[in-house]
Amino acid sequence: MPTAARLRPWLLVAGQQAAWFACALSAAAGRPAVGLSVTLAFLAAHLATAPERAREALLLLAAALVGAAGDAALVLGGGIDFPAGARLGPLPAPVWMLGLWAAFAALLRGPLRWLGRDLRLAAAAGALAGPLAYRGGAALGALEVRGGAGLVAVGALYALALPALAGLARAGPPATAEVTA
Residue 96: pLDDT over 60:
yes
Which of these, 38, 12, 42, lies nearest to 25 by C-alpha position? 38
Q: How far apart are CA 181 and CA 154, in angstroms?
A: 29
- For 109-156, how does the pLDDT look when each residue is reduced to its tens digit (9 = 90+)? 999 999 999 999 999 999 999 999 999 999 999 999 999 999 999 999
CB atoms within 10 A of CB 117: 10
E strands within the chain?
A: 80-81, 144-145
Would you say 64 and 96 are in contact if contact means Cβ atoms under 8 Å apart? no
Q: For the residues 10-22, what does the mean pLDDT come to?
A: 97
Whole-structure pTM value: 0.90
The domain segmentation of the chain, as residue ranges, is 3-170
Q: How far apart are CA 146 and CA 30, in angstroms?
A: 20
**Rounded to 5 degrees, what angle do the CA atoms 163, 164, 165 make?**
95
Q: How far apart are CA 104 and CA 174, in angstroms?
A: 16
- Cα-to-chain-centroid distance, residue 178: 18
**Rounded to 5 degrees, what angle do the CA atoms 148, 124, 91 make?**
60
